Structure 1
């Protein structure tokens, strides 16, 4: 059985533009960073997620926004692919299947929606009794997780008929669930319930462990190899072994961390904060801060490395998604070699 250890004390085809001014691309060290700014949203961007590589070798990026319209983009350039219209409230969460054929979104309109990325049309609407704050999808694209202000986690089987009926409902949370992960391979669910990290075993639909934090959990993400669960709470970033749930590392930062993502090589991680405008990268082995960049004009709500590791995306209160090079100055995507 898994055992958690006690914690140690927009409009069609929105334009893409560069942000080249020194004030917006300054860093404490290293070469000058020139992020790409992806416009199209009209309100704060609160979530984003990359697909894995498709059969063509491409990958994609989806962003969730309070303007109710998720946007799908090409992952290496930020170019607009399509906007999903149909939600009637803020969209709090969005995820892509690994092969980028399916999107799932969760909204304040009490629904989650499944989308066909080839047609841009919804294939199913999953009705809830309250705000859907977080969604996830298994790697094989079969199972979908939803959770939110109902204080419940629901699991849907897209091969089930009808797919709109939950096959599992996991209860026991005491607070709204704002972030959650579905590990389809091991049959586990991880959910951020206020200051508690809860774990359920889908084989028995039972809660198998809980961990308490001093601050509210702001995000949960898997590393690209699914080796780690990355958890942020207060000013701390935690890395847990996703199989044993052992705490591998934790790093204290100087900011209230809203989101963190580990580079595919496992050598560095990126953080965004809810209290300032800067994006920061750190060495995973030592926790040393490597880079500090300013580009957004509002707090950063979400960050994620791309599957190829050449860039990371950030979403902000300022209504934009920005793409940053992992190694500034090289030719990649829309960046020309400096």
Structure 2
């Protein structure tokens, strides 16, 4: 497996080097926003089962622009990424191609795949509340409660413009409408303990340090922290919090996905289809669940023991394609409210 980190369009020389294996038999080339270490276990399982080798190019930004610049000569076969907005962005920018696959449609619930077959969700994660074990007695908190003045000065979060939060805000617009969501966001801003910054894991660190009592974060980070044998500090953060599943009025919790799509000019299309079918399979779902602490999208398949210990997830059934259409509106709302300016602005 080749793992290269690059950003922007980069030099075409790198694309040429990467393309040397593009037309080789038994190969599938993957462009990904996902960290290579997170996808390595499932790609290794794919190679073990099929004999097809995987070549991975990791980009931290500019993936779609890279493929567009490479044009018909792009070696990309499969695009792997997180967040519904990035999957729909790939479709809108014209770097994917539709796949009509009865097997995939049978295995994956409709809310986790593009109606036209341009992307498929392969794992899911919930956007939840991290709550201090020492200072928070509440066992249930709704999304609406995050604007309750009882939490004034007690909430931490990463930037409101981050994809994970924009997806949550987009879901809120879908459920509540724009006017109610904006009033709620103003209340959330007023309850912040400090200016939004960092990633999800540092929010748990802020709770452990007593800087806030609750935070907004993804479920899988808790599993990664609690099982981090290399960093005792992160393990301490993970064990300082409880996971609470906030809900909308329907009693369900917002979820997002990681997903995959076939690149528009995939030179190894048959192998690309095999990879995406594998990612949706029972075996791959189990590998993801155990290695990355994500929820399987396969109905009825249980998550890891670590994740089960969080409690029961009742996932929102709102189609993620519906959430994606409110992303621009949510982003503009974050700026209009000044959420990222912090509570005192």
Q: What TM-score results when the alignment is normalised by the length of structure 2?
A: 0.26
Does 1 or 2 have the higher relative contact order (CA < 8 Å, sep 6+)?
A: 2
Q: Which has the higher helix share?
A: 2
More strand by share: 1
TM-score, reference length from structure 1: 0.26
Over alpha carbons, which structure has the higher Rg?
2
